[in-house]
Structure 1
Amino acid sequence: MQTARQRLLFAALVSSSLLAGSSAPAQVVRSAAGDLATVTAARDAFRADLGGGTVAGANGSFGGLRREINWDGAPDSASRPNLLPSDFFNVTSARGAIFFNSHDNLFAVSAKTGNPTATPVVFADFDPAYATKFAAFSAQRLFTSIWDPVYEVKFFVPGTNRPAVVSGFGAVFTDVDLAGRSAIEYWGVDGQSLGRYEVPAASGDQTFSFLGVSFPGAPAIARVTVTSGDVALDGGGEPVGHDAVAADDFLYSEPSEAEDGGCVATPTALCLTAGRFRVEATFFAAQTGSGIARVVPLNSNSGTMTFFSPQVSEVLIKTLDACALNNRFWVYGAAATDVGYDITVTDTVTGDFKVYSKTQGPPAAALTDSDAFATCWAN
């Protein structure tokens, strides 16, 4: 039987074969699974990749080189049985990260010992079995997405709404039992994938796993998609053949403002209104999981989006220059789907953005945002 030490999956891979044939920049991959010491070694190596030594700094920042979130700074009011605001770590504790998922961007941080509501720790309020399944890597809070184990982390200049990029992102997970059920996918500013990497698994309970990928030389990552197992923790339990996983520490380089040279049209990004507004979307379906919408330009102001088939349009979206009417740019749209989605519209001149979200199930309401962007001043 393999020991935790023997399960060490420590790697430093430059120009990984996972991205063979792509134009993505060279990367360094660090991964490990097993006991605390094994995963700590991988975590510390990733810290060194990002710069700034191996000791966490005040407020999750170290020397302007890297950031960390270990969830322990979240107060009881933002921890179980309460919800964590998705922008907590860009507003209340500004570290340049905002979280998104398919169900109204709901997230949770586990309770700590001695909390005022006597809520069980390590998400055992969702299921008592989690008390012996999960363990905190950095005591004592953990993190999860509500209703959906797949979520996104987008980066911003800390404390602002200006999109940013990072050169690396990594995370610690607890109790990854099944290979292939947990992963991190990295995305560039142009909406193209920089690679999807699986989180290593380890047998047994209260184990740890780490995955971190960095792109030396230049920040390249605008967002990441994290798949934390394949069942939502708030549903309780772990059905046979599935894997319930919680997350602990997040580590990433200091977010730096994205150098946006204007919108670049891609198969997943529309460029509307004289190329000023970039429109992208992700979709979420319980039966098929999440994906990136493909786009079809119609004219300079509008386009459609497809989810499952390139022949079936799911969403019509348009941006309009109404600066002469109410000193705003408008965003209008309509959808013919019950699938959940997040549509992100970015003003590439100012960096301002808006996210229009729909949960899976109910019919989509018409999108009529005539107050979308008060950025006519930048014309």
Structure 2
Amino acid sequence: MRLTGGFRRTRPAGADRWLAGALTAGSAVASLLAAAGPPYREADLPGLVLVTAASLALLWRQVFPLPVVAVVSALLIVNEAAGYAVTVVQWPAWIALFTCFSLYRDWPRRLVAALSGGLAVLGYVVFDRGQVSLLELSGITMCFLISTIGGDAALSRRAYAAAAEARAVSEARERVALAERVLLQERARLAGELHDALGHAVNVMVMQAGVGRRVFAENPDFGHEALGHIETLGRGALDELDRLLRVLDPAADLTDLPELPDLAVLAARARAAGREVELNTGEVELPASGARAVYRITQEAVTNALRHTSRGRIRIDLTQTGDRVLLEVTNEGDDFPEPVPGRGLVNMRERARLEGGDLEAGPVAGGFGVRVVLPVARP
């Protein structure tokens, strides 16, 4: 059975067993010890049965709240009609009314419970053998208000506690999800750094090794020179790997991460691989993160040019106009296809996006171009 307050009961709760048992014993003792006196009947077996039945009905107060309040109200009326005092038989009625208001939030069922309690009060007024005074009526009214208002307060307090628990669970899940997103972002950043930093060096080394192998017999001096370049690139790759590992250490010194002046070294490596490289850089103002983004994007663009073409000039232009920095890397040639999205292109776009800029890549007049626009100040 589903209740509005969030309870689901199919059998009496342990607390209700204790409540019904204690109330049954206490009511029986009170009925026997408290002499009602005229005009009420003395406590006897039928009176004890009525009191016991009303108390035991509370076993099911959370399973069948409305039937229970109706039953205990009817027993109270029967008790009065039989001539017994209302001393103890009223207790289950107020508890049952309180239960209905603490479990149900909708007013139709609350109204049914209140009407059952009201009929019990009316039966008491009509059938009670004594004279019902104004003081007694005020006491009954107070008990009625305490039962209904107290039940509503208990429901509100329980709903507030449930909402607070739900918020805590939701916040905990959100923290876990945020941690997972951060971890995925860090993994993606690490993969991008590995791809950009080491991919360039390995590609140039492979190209120089291939050229040196082909011409070694005819031009050993060039072959030796290629081996020297490969050694230099290998050392540079190790330095890049060391830089990357230090990026992962929050306490590491990051002052030697790639900057704009390193573009000249990048161009020299591409020239050593046998390609013509034209580097044109003006005075630009970029934060350290923007300078690293420009370097990595240029590095990836040059690497792609070396990987996919074996001839043609590579032109690198870096200029600043107002508060915008423009980077253009052009691989001169003909009949370039549209780029296929891969890790390199994704990394370049992400680096530009993180700096608040835009990146375009594709065939242009006279070759294949990568165009990046970055703001001077990172947003």
Structure with the higher helix share, 1 or 2: 2
Larger radius of gyration: 2
Answer yes or no: same fold by TM over 0.5.
no
TM-score band w.r.t. shorter chain: under 0.3
Higher relative contact order (CA 8 A, sep 6+): 1
TM-score by length of 1: 0.23
TM-score by length of 2: 0.23
Structure with the higher strand share, 1 or 2: 1
